Structure 1
Amino acid sequence: MNEIREAPHADLLNAAIELFGRSGFEGASTRAIASACDKPMSAITYHFGGKQGLYLACARHIAEILGERIQPVVEGIDALNALSATREEIEAALIPLVEAGVAIVTDPRLDTVAMFMLREQAAPTEAFDLLYERVMCPLLTSIAGLLAAAANPPIEPERARVLAIMLMGQILMFRTCRATTMRFSEWEEIGADQKRQLVGAARVHLSAILHSLSSGEHA
């Protein structure tokens, strides 16, 4: 993984994230992980207590990587007084989320992170609980709160949560279903122009959701 974040034992963590992502927990051996970063196997036991400890350390490392990108967006959302905010202010607070989401799902340095997380989505372990509590839940909670605040008449919390998932899902599609999205879009790569198109499309959908909620069309 060509990651931009430094961390203690980052070489072991990055090698482990890649191999766990490609082969799963059972398929990735500690011997292969240590060999991939030219470390002795004893380093895994010494620093992480064993394979399970290394796996959870990988999840924490991923949470920190994504948290550094997402936290400023969440803080911007949470700083808004949702109860008194206008629809335009709510939309302005959520646009950085759209932009950050597109940047994350199209960053090739996060390819191995994505593989690790997709395995946890398919077969959740203790690592999923860690990723959910530190990254996904705070983000979705903030989004759902703003969507609920925009609704007139009010909507149930469950509906706000579903809308938040749908808003994020349209962006995540370009990571979780990369082969399909690339082929159907007739793209060979996702460069600057393609990223602008993704942000633009997501902003259109965000605006449509907020218009529906604030105008009463959702009732």
Structure 2
Amino acid sequence: MPPHDTPAGPSARSRLVQAALRLFAEKGYEAAGTREIAEAAGANISAIRYYFGDKAGLYRAAFTEPMADLPARLNRERYAELPLAAALGQLFRDFLEPLKRGEDFRLVMKLHIREMIEPTGAWRHEIDAEIKPHHDALAMLLRRHLGTACPDTDIHRLAFAIMGMAVHFYAGQEIVAAIQPEILMDPAAIDILAERLSGYALSMITGEARRLAAQQQHAGG
């Protein structure tokens, strides 16, 4: 049996990942020691080498695994088949789904923010696996709606601005909780938030379409 595993209850590996998530999020990679993590997990320090190879391997597991059991959140073909309003609604519902995980996700987000401040290189995987596919899916929708004449830089500006609305609720969870906790109170509230963000995004896209039309009219006149 692996180090400190028991027939019942969470495995030593899962306890180590959870303890590492909490301590890395609170202290950062350098300050959180492997012995401290092992003690918090109720596991032998040798279990870290057994399961993860080293501290860096444990960090990668803590950074990526806690949300790994979520269903696949992105289906770009599905968005392409929907009208713009429906596609935006689905995109925001998919993007905000992890917020329904409560405390676990709060720790994941805290660790991700710390990674921005004290980078270890773990963000590269997150960008490639999650952030860029969402951005690309939205950019595809915008190109389809606004037309290929729209400069690519403008498409990306608009995509970043739209998704920035949702990202704020990730990075600013504690701020939202302090000012208006009802917004993220439960899964139903998060679904309402996705619906509202979809409406706001439609207004932004409508405004950009008007700007482009005026620009083209001016150029033609």
What TM-score results when the alignment is normalised by the length of structure 2? 0.78
What is residue 47 of structure 1 aligned with on the other side? 51
C-alpha displacement at 1:121, in angstroms? 2.4
AA of the residue aligned to 1:122 = I
Whether 2:198 is the aligned partner of 1:199: answer no
Q: Which has the higher contact order (CA 8 A, sep 6+)?
A: 1
2:210 corresponds, among 199, 202, 217, to: 217
What TM-score results when the alignment is normalised by the length of structure 1? 0.78
C-alpha displacement at 1:104, in angstroms? 2.2
AA of the residue aligned to 1:37 = A
Preserved CA contact (<8 Å) 1:91 1:210: no
1:170 corresponds, among 159, 165, 169, to: 165
Whole-Å Cα distance in 2 between the matches of residues 197 and 58 of structure 1? 30
- In 2 relative to 1, CA 90–44 (structure 1 residues): closer, same or farther, beyond 3 Å? same
What RMSD, in angstroms, separates the aligned Cα atoms of the two structures? 2.8
Segments of structure 2 that go 5 or more residues without pairing to the other structure are 1-9, 213-221
Whole-Å Cα distance in 2 between the matches of residues 46 and 98 of structure 1? 39
Please tell me whether Structure 1 or Structure 2 has the larger radius of gyration of its CA atoms. 2
1:31 corresponds, among 12, 30, 35, to: 35
SS at match of 1:27: coil
C-alpha displacement at 1:8, in angstroms? 9.1
What is residue 78 of structure 1 aligned with on the other side? 77
1:10 corresponds, among 11, 14, 36, to: 14
Whole-Å Cα distance in 1 between the matches of residues 98 and 67 of structure 2? 13
Preserved CA contact (<8 Å) 2:28 2:118: no
Stretch of structure 1 that moved more, 135-144 or 160-169: 160-169
SS at match of 1:39: coil
Preserved CA contact (<8 Å) 2:67 2:98: no
SS at match of 1:135: helix
Whole-Å Cα distance in 2 between the matches of residues 137 and 172 of structure 1? 13
Alignment of 1:8-157 (within 5 A): 9-62=13-66, 64-65=68-69, 68-69=70-71, 71-72=72-73, 74-75=74-75, 77-79=76-78, 81=80, 89-108=83-102, 109-152=104-147, 154-157=149-152
Between the aligned residues of both structures, percent identity stands at: 22
